[in-house]
Structure 1
C-alpha cells in the first residue's frame, strides 16, 4: 500500500523520511566511535596495538557479516521490533563502552554494538525499498546514500572536539546519545509496514546460500581482488588515527582528515558516474584499483615534503598535507568503483541466480576489514609504536619533537613504511584484476 501511494503521488511517505533520519543517527553514532576506536582500545582500554588490531578486525567485519543472519530474523519479527531491539542494543553498547573501559566490558560492549548495528542496515534498506515505487527507487537510494555520508561526516566531525576536550573515552557516550535519539524516533513514530508475502529465510538457508556463492571461484576471486581496495580504505579507521596522533600530536585531527573521503565522494560521484556510464564496468573498476595504491604512496611521502610547509600563510604539518591529499585520492577512486562494482558483480553470477549473488557482493568489505585491521595492528607495533611502550628517554624525545625541538626517536624513523605496505597491497590488487580480466575474457572467447 505504501509503495503504491509513493508511486501514484510521486512523493515519499513520512516513514521514508523517518527511516532516513534514523539512519543518519545510527551512522553518526557508528562513525563517531569507529574513527576513535583504534585509539580507544589502546588509550582507554589498555590493549596493545596488535590486540586492538584483532579486536577491530573482528568487530568491523562482523558488522558486514551478521546482517546475513539478522536480516532473516528481522523478516520474522517485523521491522519495527527489529529496529527497537537494534537501538536498545546500540544505546546500551555505546554507553557501556564509554562508562566501563575495562578489557572484558569493552569486548562485551563491542559485541552488543555489532549485533545491534547488524539489524539496522537490512531493515532501513528494506524500508526504503518498500516505500518507493519502481519509478522512485533510484532517487530513493540516492537520497539514502547521501544520508549515510551526511551521518558519517557528522559523527566524525563531532568526535574530534569531544576527544580533545573530554578524552577518547567520552566519544562512545556521544554515540549512545545519537542511538537513543534513533530509539525514541522508532518508538514514537515508526509503524509497521505492510507485511511481505515472501516467506522469511531461515538461518540454514542463509548459510547454504553463502556456501553456494563462495564455491563460485570466479565470483569469489572478484570479491577478494576488490577487497584490496577496501583494505587501504579501511586504514582511515585502523591505522591513520593512531599514526597521525603519534606523529603529529594529540591536537591533530584524524577525524576531520577522514571526512575528506565522504566530501570528495558526495562532490564527485554523480559527475564521474555520468562520465563512465558508457565504459565497461571492469574498466571503471580497474581505474579505481589503479588509483588506490597512489593514495597510500602519497601518505608515505610525508618525510619528503619537509617541515616548512604552509597553507594560505599558516604552517601545516607535512603529515597533515599528505594525509589529506591521499584521502582525497581514495575518495576520487571510490567514485569509479562503487557505482559499477555491483553491476559487474551481477554479471559474474549464473543465469537466474543474480539476486542470490548480489546479496553477498559486499563480502569484499568483510574480508578487507578482517585483513586490514589485523595488518594495521602488527604494522603500527613495528613502525609506529604506542608511546607507552617506549623508554623514558624516547618518550621525552618524542614530546620534545612534537613541540618543535629536534627529531622523533628512532622508533618512529620508519613510521611511513606502513603506507608502503598498503601501497603494495593496492598494486597486488590491481595486478590481480588484470590477470582476472584476462582469464575471464579468454574463457568467454572460448565459449563463444
Structure 2
C-alpha cells in the first residue's frame, strides 16, 4: 500500500519528521535552559512559553489559507527558512528580547508546516483508498519526531554545550529547506491556487463557527484537558531536573540493558518524559479499539478524569517510579479522549461544514496555551522556586493541585455539557 503513495507525499512527511524532531528536541529542554542557564523566572517563562505555543495553534488557520493561495512549495521554503533562523538565533543569544524573537520565528515557521503537510497528504491521496494510509504515515512521522528529538537533544547537551541543542534543530530545518527547494514538487495547480481561500474567507468561516454556542462552549471546557498536557512539556522537565534522581534509574536500567556503554549518560528529563510518546506509539491502537463502542462524550469524560488523577503521583513524590506511574496514567487518559474530541467536533458540526469545524477545533488548544502555562508558571514560582530560594522544602501538592483543579473543572464542565448543552441525541 505504501508503494501507491506519490514521492511528493513522502517528501512532505519527511519534512514533518524533521520539523517535529527539531521542535520536541527544543521544547522539552527549553524550560531548563531558560530558567537554570539564562536565569529567567518560571512565571515569566510560563508566559513566554504559553504565548509562543498558542501561536502554533492559531496561526495555521491563516497559514493554511496562504499556502492554498500561493502554493505549498513556497510555503515550505518560507517555513523552513524561518525555522532555521529561529533555532539559530535561540542558540546564539542570551538576550531575553532576542530569545522571544527566536521563539516567535519558531512559532511562525511551525504554524506554516502543520497545515501544509496535512494539505499535501490530502491533495496527493484518494478518499477511501490511499488517504488513510497517507495520514497514518503522517502521524507515524509526528510520533517518531517526538521520540527521536528528545533523545538526540539529551545526547547533544550531555556531550557539548547546551546551546548546540538548538543548533542541531537549526541544522535539521536547514536540511529540510534544501529538500523543499530541490525535491518537493508542487501539488497545487495554478488554477487551484487561484480558487484557494482568501484571508477574508478564513475570517468569515471563523465568525460562522464561533456563532455556534455549543461548539464554542465545548472548546472552552475541553481546553482544561489540553492545558494539563502543557505541564508535562513545560514544567515537568524542570521538576525532574531538580528533584528526581535519574542517574539511579539509569544505573538500574544499565544493569539489565547496558545502554551507557555506547550512549554514555542518556536518561535526561526530556528522555524520561518521552515515555508519554512511546506509550502512545505502542498502545494507541489497542486502547482506541477497546473504547470504540463508548459514546464519544463518555470517552472524553473518562479520559479527562483519568488524566486529572494522574498528577496525584508527582504531587506525592518526585521519585522516578512514582513520576513514571503518573506519566503512564496520563498517557492512558490522553489516548482515551484526545482523538475522540476531534471526532465529536465533527459530529456536532452541520454536515456541510465538518471540515471547517475540525479546522477551528484547534482553537481549544490555542486557548489552553494562553492561560495554562502562565498559571503553571505562577504556581511553580510560588510553591517551588521561591521556597527553594528561601531554603524551605518545595510544596508539590499545591503546584500539581493547580493542575488538577484545571482538569477537575474540565471534568465537571463536560458532565454538565453532556447533561444540558449537548445535542439531544448525545444526552
**Normalised by the size of structure 2, how large is the TM-score?**
0.89
Equivalent pairs counted in the alignment come to 405
Three-state SS of the structure 2 residue aligned to 1:234 is helix
**Aligned: 1:437 with 2:418:** yes
1:153, CA displacement in angstroms? 0.7
Q: Is the 8 A contact 2:68 2:188 kept in 1?
A: no
Aligned to 2:220: 224
| 1:132 maps to 2:125 | yes
Q: Give 1:290 shift.
A: 1.4
Paired residues for 1:191-270 under 5 Å: 191-195=185-189, 197=192, 199-248=195-244, 253-270=268-285
Question: Counterpart of 1:37?
Answer: 30
State the alpha-carbon separation in 1 of the partners of residues 45 and 161 from structure 2.
18
Question: What's the RMSD between the two structures over aligned residues?
Answer: 2.3
Give the Cα–Cα distance (whole angstroms) in 2 for the partners of residues 325 and 39 of structure 1.
Answer: 22
Deviation at 1:16? 1.5
Structure 1 segments (4+ residues) deviating >6 Å: 249-252
Question: Secondary structure, in 3 states, of the residue corresponding to 1:190?
Answer: coil
**2:385 matched residue in structure 1:** 385
Instruction: Quote the offset at 1:169 in angstroms.
Output: 2.5
Query: Secondary structure of the equivalent of 1:168?
Result: coil
Structure 1 segment 305-384 matched on structure 2, within 5 A: 318-384=318-384
**Quick check: 2:308–2:330 contact (8 Å CA) kept in 1?**
no
CA distance in 2, matches of 1:413, 1:192: 54
Deviation for aligned residue 1:82? 0.7
Structure 1: distance between partners of 2:168 and 2:397? 32
Greater Rg by CA: 1
Structure 1 position 386, deviation (Å): 6.8
Query: In the superposition, relative to structure 1, how do residues 250 and 279 fare at CA in structure 2: closer, same or farther (>3 Å)?
Result: closer
- What SS class does the counterpart of residue 62 from structure 1 fall into? helix
Q: What is the match of residue 259 of structure 2?
A: none
Aligned residues of 2:304 and 2:334 also touching (Cα < 8 A): no
Task: List alignment gaps of at least 5 residues for structure 1.
Answer: 1-5, 303-317, 395-408
Q: What is the alpha-carbon distance in structure 2 between the residues aligned to residue 250 and residue 301 of structure 1?
A: 17
CA contact (8 A) 2:307 2:331 kept: no
Q: Unaligned 5+ residue runs, structure 2?
A: 248-266
Contact persistence 1:346–1:357 (CA under 8 A): yes
Which residue is equivalent to 1:426? 407
- Offset of residue 118 of structure 1: 0.9
Counterpart residue number, 2:152 = 158
1:211 & 1:40 partners in 2: Cα distance? 40
Corresponding residue SS for 1:64? helix
Tell me if the contact between 1:383 and 1:417 (Cα under 8 Å) persists in the aligned partners. Answer: yes
Show the counterpart of 1:292: 307
User: Conserved in 2, the CA contact under 8 Å of 1:232 and 1:296?
Assistant: no
Q: Is the 8 A contact 1:257 1:323 kept in 2?
A: no
